[in-house]
């Protein structure tokens, strides 16, 4: 298998893919919410509520900022790789996968 393919662990949650240079999250975004927060799973996606409307990229910008803050990385390390104009998004967070998985456990898994 080529080194560029993601590495999956059998215990990874369905919304998470782990690679050599970071993680990819499958998320479902609910714009125009009363509070920006992670609120659980929707199918096999992580559901995130955002206060911004889905107008002129405002919700995408807030999504990237929220995830950067949650994972303790720079905003430039968070990239929407698919779903720019959809509620269903794939978001890549660059960084040390081990550290990012600790953040997933601390800020997402433990609160579900």
Q: Which residue has the higher pLDDT, 87 or 3?
A: 87
Total-model pTM: 0.87
Cβ neighbourhood burial of 104 (10 Å; 0-12, 13-18, 19+): buried
Question: Residue 33 to residues 2, 12, 20, 30, 46: CA-CA distances in angstroms?
Answer: 41, 28, 34, 7, 15
**Cβ 108 vs Cβ 46: under 8 Å:** yes
- In this model, does residue 11 exceed pLDDT 90? no
- In this model, does residue 2 exceed pLDDT 50? no
Any idea where the domains of the chain sit in the sequence? Answer: 16-111
Distance, in Å, from the CA atom of 67 to the CA atom of 23, rounded to the nearest integer, reads 12
Q: Which pLDDT score is estimated for 36?
A: 97
Q: What percent of the chain lies above the pLDDT cut of 70?
A: 91
- Among 1.10.3430.10, 3.30.1200.10, 2.60.40.10, 3.40.50.300, name the CATH number for the domain at 16-111: 3.30.1200.10
Question: At which residue do the structure tokens 């794939």 appear?
Answer: 90
pLDDT digits (tens, 9 = 90+) for 59-100: 999 999 999 999 999 999 999 999 999 999 999 999 999 999
Question: Across residues 47-64, what is the average pLDDT?
Answer: 96
């Amino acid at each position: 298998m080529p080194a560029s393919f993601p590495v999956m662990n059998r215990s990874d949650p369905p919304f998470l893919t782990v690679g050599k240079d970071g993680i990819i999250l499958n998320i479902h975004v609910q714009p125009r919410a009363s509070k920006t927060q992670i609120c659980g799973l929707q199918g096999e996606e992580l559901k995130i509520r955002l206060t911004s409307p889905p107008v002129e990229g405002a919700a995408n910008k807030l999504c990237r900022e929220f995830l950067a803050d949650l994972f303790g990385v720079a905003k430039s390390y968070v990239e929407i790789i698919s779903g720019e104009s959809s509620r269903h998004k794939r978001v890549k967070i660059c960084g040390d996968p081990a550290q990012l998985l600790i953040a997933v456990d601390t800020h997402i898994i433990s609160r579900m």
